[in-house]
């Protein structure tokens, strides 16, 4: 995994095979609904997180890998924001490869661990057109519950406990960006109504996982950002307050459908140097 390099030509060919055109800016042209882009109608076996460990490994082709996780909220309200990311994926990747030669992407789908049947999906780390393929495989359950938050810290959990990074061994952190439109969840439930943390991941846990504990854990290994996506006439109250308990102004960004792709590119390009390893991860 992680071999190859992104090219605009491969992206154009990939989308041509699906009947889509690329405009002069490099993005997918035209208007698309969520399920025109995201084709899965159930959890794809390639993205099943159960008992999985994802690796981002250095190689002769990519000697200094920079691991990036993009975690999309796949509940009911976030469908169009994910479409914009998919349409502009080529623009993001092309701009990044001018600055970061060895970036590798993992795509995650995040739902609601209390209510959803498929609250978590994780791809491999990849550096070529397979990123587009794995993004397209994300299943939008369009779930979520009445608890006024989604399980964004599932991305923190998987990043911390289910990834191995050669960058970390070199003293550099990875980068984790979650995207959504609801407040941060206060914990991850060990058991949910349909699919809790134990059944989704296969991990043995003695209790729910508290957000404050998980934040300390994940930030030893990753720089963590959240994009609060404004895409409707109203905003759910308390979003910024919930995230700002942990993330400063730079790491919590409010974006819209027009600038979400540019913001992702900016964050990755600015953060690509990583930070020095100040200790070992423990859990």
Confidence (pLDDT) at 280: 32
Confidence (pLDDT) at 4: 83
Confidence (pLDDT) at 237: 85
Cα 117-120-125 angle, rounded to 5 deg: 150
Cα 71-76-81 angle, rounded to 5 deg: 50
Confidence (pLDDT) at 2: 63
Residue 104 domain-assigned?
A: yes
Specify whether the CB–CB gap between 105 and 125 falls below 8 A.
yes
Q: Are strands 103-110 and 120-122 parallel, antiparallel or unpaired?
A: antiparallel
Residue 280 domain-assigned?
A: no
In whole angstroms, give the CA distance from residue 261 to residue 256.
9
Please report, in angstroms and rounded to a whole number, the separation of the first and last CA atoms in the chain: 27
CATH number of the domain residue 199 falls in: 3.40.50.410
Residue 74 domain-assigned?
A: yes
pTM: 0.91
Domain of residue 43: give its range.
Answer: 8-271
In whole angstroms, give the CA distance from residue 39 to residue 34.
9
Nearest Cα to Cα of residue 156 among 217, 66, 93 = 217
In whole angstroms, give the CA distance from residue 180 to residue 108.
12
Residue 189 domain-assigned?
A: yes
- What is the chain written as a DSSP string? ---S---HHHHHHHHHTTT--B-TTSSBPS---HHHH---SS--GGG--TT--EEE---SSSTT-EEEEEEEE-SGGGHHHHHHHHHTHHHHHHHHHTT-TTEEEEEEEE--TTT-S--EEE---BSSTHHHHHHHT--------SSS-B-THHHHHHHHHSEEEHHHHTTB-EEEEEEESSPBPSEE-SS-SS--HHHHH----SS-EEHHHHHHHHTTTEEEEEEEEE-SSS--TTHHHHHTTT--TTTEEEEETTTHHHHHHHHHHHHTT--B--S----
Residue 65 domain-assigned?
A: yes
Residue 141 domain-assigned?
A: yes
In whole angstroms, give the CA distance from residue 130 to residue 126.
6
**Total domain count for the chain?**
1
Q: Is 245 exposed, middle or buried (0-12, 13-18, 19+ CB in 10 A)?
A: exposed
Nearest Cα to Cα of residue 120 among 188, 32, 167 = 188
Confidence (pLDDT) at 277: 42
Residue 152 domain-assigned?
A: yes
* Residues 6+ positions from 171 with CB-CB distance below 8 Å: 274, 276, 277
Confidence (pLDDT) at 214: 97
Residue 63 domain-assigned?
A: yes
Tokens of 131: 């990123």
Run means of pLDDT, 10 residues per run, the chain, 283 residues: 83 94 94 90 96 95 94 83 88 84 92 91 95 92 80 97 95 95 94 90 96 97 96 82 96 92 91 49 31
Confidence (pLDDT) at 1: 61
């Amino acid at each position: 995994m992680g071999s190859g390099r992104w090219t605009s030509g491969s992206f154009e060919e990939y989308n041509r095979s699906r009947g889509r055109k690329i405009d002069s800016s490099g993005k997918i042209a035209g208007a698309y609904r969520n399920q025109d882009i995201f084709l899965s109608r159930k959890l794809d076996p390639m993205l099943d997180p159960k008992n999985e460990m994802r690796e981002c490994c250095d190689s002769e082709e990519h000697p200094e890998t920079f691991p990036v996780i993009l975690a999309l909220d796949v509940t009911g309200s976030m469908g169009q924001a994910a479409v914009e990311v998919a349409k502009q994926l080529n623009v993001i990747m092309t701009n990044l490869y001018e600055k970061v030669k060895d970036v590798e992407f993992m795509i995650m789908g995040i739902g609601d661990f209390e209510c959803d049947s498929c609250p978590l999906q994780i791809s491999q780390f990849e550096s070529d057109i397979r990123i587009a393929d794995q993004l397209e495989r994300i299943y939008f359950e369009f779930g979520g519950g009445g608890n006024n938050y989604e399980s964004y810290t599932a991305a923190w959990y998987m990043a911390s406990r289910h990834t191995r990074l050669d960058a970390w061994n070199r003293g550099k952190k990875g980068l984790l960006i979650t995207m959504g439109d609801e407040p941060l969840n206060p914990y991850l439930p060990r058991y949910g109504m349909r699919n809790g943390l134990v059944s989704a991941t296969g991990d043995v846990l003695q209790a729910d996982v508290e957000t404050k504990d998980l934040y300390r854990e994940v930030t030893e290994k990753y720089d963590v950002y959240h994009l609060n996506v404004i895409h409707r006439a109203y905003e759910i109250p308390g979003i910024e307050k919930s995230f700002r308990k942990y993330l400063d102004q730079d790491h919590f960004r409010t974006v819209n459908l027009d600038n979400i792709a540019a913001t992702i590119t900016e964050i990755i390009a600015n953060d690509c140097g990583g930070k020095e390893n100040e200790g070992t991860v423990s859990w």
